[in-house]
Amino acid sequence: MHEKTPLIRLSKREDMPKRRIWLIRLGAFVVALLLGMIVFWIAGANPLEAYESIVVAALGKKTGIRQVVRNAVPLLGTALALAPCFKMRYWNIGAEGQITMGAVAAAFFAINCKTMPSLPLLLLMGLGSIVFGALWSLIPAFFKSRWGTNETLFTLMMNYIAIGIAAWLIGGPWEGKKGSQIIPVFRDEAVLPKVFGVHIGWIIVLVITVLMFIYMRYTKHGYEIAVLGESENTARYAGMSVGKIIMRTAALSGGICGLVGFMIASGAHGTLYANVAGGAGFTAITVCWLAQLNPFAMIVISLLLAVLTRGSSTLQTSMGIPASITDIITGIILLCMLGCEFFINYKMHFRKSSGKEAA
Amino acid sequence: MESVHAVEFKGVTKRFGHNTANDHIDLYVDKGVIMALLGENGSGKTTLMNMLAGIYAPDEGQIFVDGREVSITSPKVAFDHHIGMIHQHFRLVDVFTAAENIVLGLEEKGRLDLKAASKRIKEISAKYGFDIDPDKKVYEMSVSEKQTVEIIKVLYRGADILILDEPTAVLTPQEIEKLFKVMKAMRADGKVIIIITHKLNEVMEVSDVVAVLRKGHHIKTVRTAQTTPAELTELMVGRKVALNIDRKEPVDPKPRLTIAELTVRDGDGIKKLDNVGFIAFGGEILGIAGIAGSGQKELLEAIAGLREIESGTIVYTPEGRHPEQLVGKSPMAIKEAGVAMAFVPEDRLGMGLVGGMGMTGNMMLRSWTAGKGIFVDRKAPEKLAADVLADLEVVTPGVDYPVRKLSGGNVQKVLVGREIASAPSVLMTAYAVRGLDINTSYTIYNLLCQQKEKGVAVIFVGEDLDVLLELCDRILVLCGGQVSGIVDARTTTKEEVGLLMTSVGGKEAN
């Protein structure tokens, strides 16, 4: 009797050429679009038309493009903020709360500085949002470096507290008209100026992109983060003070998140909502990973997601397809993109009838 | 009819990516024979045996057991063919007893009968001369007892072909002797035993035949009685090698590190070092011997400032300067004072190297704070990386190629090369040659000797007693976190060191 060898065997592969890696990733994206067509078809729409209308809605008109950029700014900004944390293997999933606290700080100055001129007021709001975001992020980092608490759960829970605080402020102390449960729109001096029709935040995040790239790649801090992410023992061995690096990096991350909160509140909304972050803090995690922590790749990914978001609202109005369909499409894209890494890292061998197989 | 071999490999090939671990291996072994599978690290010994044990499947070729072609797709199938492997790293459940571990995973009908199991374990023990208490919990066992459990586990499942992967690496000389006795008893019972090793003296002592592998090829199988260690080395390395360590008498040794009453506890409050005291001299190699986990790691880490010290003093006397107390100083300050540590832990990359970075990035671990301003200086480490690459003949596609992807020996060269390059006055190494081929090992030994001749105080934590005896000037033996004794390496014997390893002071030998 002769037992069978397994049908599929896996072996780890190494050193695939860069070009092939990118071809596989591109292929995965195409596969995702094809799978997406099936979803549209099931939903009763013409898949090609659906894709077309997404692209047209997002990129066909100026208003569309502006909306896309406006959507992309918080995603990119937050993804940039998360990059050093993830590089350090510090799982900060508290961006949502850090954004919210940044926005709360911005709103505080917008509401209370009733006579200040625009420039100092905006600077004050920006600075305040950075400090608040950083402090909010420092709390779990402090506990982590001091007592080794789990940052994943801690940062996640901090989100709900932040959102709760914002909701309470909006409905309580800062409420505009009694019973309205909202705060009034910021006065014009507290609203970010526009450049090419979109608030200036897009320039700020592009500057941060370049700075973050340099920070991660060429600075001592960046080196510390990279070493710590690989091995805490090695970092200690090299004389790095682990707790300090964790707290500093978390504060930096939270500060940028806070700034994003300021840009959303002051630039996009012109007021403070309790769900000011609107899920950007979570979506940015995906942006960050899909970009493999590369700041420039994050620009592309965040734009892509913003296009899909923008397109989804049009689909609903023009073709009667529920907006949640695009969430499914987004999910499929993410699954395919992350899944294709498997084929980059592993090689499959299929059972051959002859018993011999090519190398 | 052709004679039937107990196990036979025909044209067996196994590849990992571009790397061919086994290249058309033809090899056989007969009943009642102890075969040593000899080869340097990376020569494909373990891979070949893993295919016999059902952990890997061959890419090409056939395996025959008792003359029948078999396809061993899992360890369970291996047991069906009466093949059992005892791995280097034990696979036991700590909180279970020996008996529970042994019957674990057996699919026997009816309810679990531990009493019957214990009885059978005792029968097996008596037959082959094992010494085991079936009701003892694994976490209470010594390394050698755990190994015994692993061997009985395999015998209990009816194995007639036993594979032992470097079984002696973790044992003391006395325990090795016991193991060899057991192996010979099993041979007398007609079992096939394949022992994977790279220690020549053990090969000569215990085996009947030796199969030598080199770079994935089966070079030759010889009868042990008809060969010599020199011939085996040549087969293994591929050319004649002179294996000697140029040990000079220490010249003008001065106290460099004076350690007194050092006590260290781990995170759970367990004493890892207990009242340890010794002096390390400049211009001398101080060997540290002990069973794995006797406090070697903690000792080096405490000196390097990486461990909290409960009590005791570590006084460092640099050349021509005043003594300073190292306890309480940060790792950074200790390093700047000239105490270097090339620590190679069990997982090699866990401390001292960053796997995802290239050689340059790893050289930077020593110099990343250099220079003013916020940017790191890459120039100096780049040059250092190039120097280490050239001096130690590191095989890598480039200085930016991730060190994780290098072979173990090359990883070690990067680490040791960097530490030596920092011109330390105390150089601590642990398991510096683990995983290195013979030639490179001797390169490292001689590098350490050069450092000693320069007046550096070298502390060498080692596993191979033969090497410790040959390389060091004095040997400190740790036993359960205590200094069991300090002996002169030139006059002591392996047996003496072995006794000190198992009991403090070497008094109550068992």
* Closest B-chain CA to A348: B17
Minimal C-alpha gap between B488 and chain A (Å): 31
Contacting residues of A for B374, CB less than 8 Å apart: 219-221
Inside any domain, residue A44: no
Tokens in use for A64?
Answer: 């569309």
Minimal C-alpha gap between B191 and chain A (Å): 24
Minimal C-alpha gap between A357 and chain B (Å): 8
Return the C-alpha torsion angle A201, A204, A208, A211, nearest 10: 170
What pLDDT, on a 0 to 100 scale, did the predictor assign at position B114? 83
Q: How many CB pairs under 8 A join A and B?
A: 97
The residue type found at B244 is N
Whether B386 contacts B376, CB under 8 Å: no
Of B59, B73, B376, the CB nearest to A220: B376
Inside any domain, residue A127: yes
Q: Does A351 touch chain B (CB under 8 A)?
A: no
Of B15, B335, B376, the CB nearest to A223: B376
Tokens in use for A234?
Answer: 């090695």
Inside any domain, residue A226: yes
Q: What is the CATH number of the domain that holds A212?
A: 1.10.3470
Inside any domain, residue A39: no
* pLDDT tens-digit readout, A209-231: 999 999 999 999 999 999 999 98
For every residue of A229-256, DSSP letters joined together read: HH-HHHHHHTT--HHHHHHHHHHHHHHH
List of residues 6+ apart from A303 with CB closer than 8 A: A68, A72
Whether B160 contacts B191, CB under 8 Å: yes
Contacting residues of A for B366, CB less than 8 Å apart: 238
Inside any domain, residue A234: yes
| Interface contact flag, B57 A6, Cβ < 8 Å | yes
- Residue among A29, A53, A49 nearest A41 (CA): A49
Of A6, A219, A236, the CB nearest to B73: A6
| Interface contact flag, B16 A356, Cβ < 8 Å | no
Query: For each of chain B's 510 residues, which pLDDT tens digit applies?
Result: 456 889 999 999 988 777 788 899 999 999 889 999 988 777 888 889 999 998 888 888 899 998 888 888 888 889 889 999 998 778 888 899 998 898 887 777 777 788 888 888 999 888 888 888 888 898 888 888 888 899 999 999 888 999 998 888 778 888 888 899 999 999 999 899 999 987 788 888 899 999 999 888 999 899 999 998 888 888 888 877 766 788 888 888 889 899 999 999 987 888 899 999 999 998 999 999 988 788 888 898 898 888 889 999 999 888 777 888 888 888 878 877 777 766 655 555 667 888 888 899 989 988 888 878 888 888 888 888 998 888 877 888 888 888 887 776 778 888 888 888 877 888 888 887 776 777 778 888 888 898 899 888 999 998 888 889 989 999 999 998 999 999 999 999 888 898 898 888 766 444
- Residue among B10, B5, B24, B3 nearest B65 (CA): B5
- Residue among B457, B401, B365 nearest A220 (CA): B365
SS3 (DSSP) at B146:
helix
Inside any domain, residue A358: no
B108 in the Ramachandran plot: left (φ > 0), alpha (ψ -120 to 50) or beta? beta
* Closest B-chain CA to A345: B17
* Closest B-chain CA to A236: B306
Minimal C-alpha gap between B422 and chain A (Å): 13
How many angstroms separate the CA atoms of B351 and B344, rounded?
7
Count CB neighbours of A234 within 10 A. 21
Phi and psi at residue B460, to the nearest 5°: -120, 105
| Interface contact flag, A5 B73, Cβ < 8 Å | yes
- Residue among B433, B37, B27 nearest B198 (CA): B37
Strands B311-316 and B254-265: antiparallel
Of A11, A227, A231, the CB nearest to B16: A11
| Interface contact flag, A3 B353, Cβ < 8 Å | no
Return the C-alpha torsion angle A283, A287, A290, A293, nearest 10: -130
Residue B483 β-bridge partners: B478
| Interface contact flag, A357 B59, Cβ < 8 Å | yes
Contacting residues of B for A226, CB less than 8 Å apart: 354, 356-357, 361
| Interface contact flag, A234 B354, Cβ < 8 Å | yes
How many angstroms separate the CA atoms of A201 and A211, rounded?
15
Task: Provide the residue range defining the domain that includes A194.
Answer: 69-316
Minimal C-alpha gap between A218 and chain B (Å): 6
DSSP B374: S
Inside any domain, residue A332: no
Of A14, A230, A239, the CB nearest to B332: A239
Strands B339-343 and B254-265: unpaired
Inside any domain, residue A41: no
Contacting residues of A for B59, CB less than 8 Å apart: 349, 357
Domains and CATH numbers, chain B: 7-237 (3.40.50.300), 255-338+457-510 (3.40.50.300)
The residue type found at B275 is N
Tokens in use for B266?
Answer: 């781990």
Residue B38 β-bridge partners: B197, B212
Number of structural domains chain A divides into: 1
Q: How far is CA A202 from CA A2, A4, A63, A70, A322, in A?
A: 66, 60, 15, 8, 29
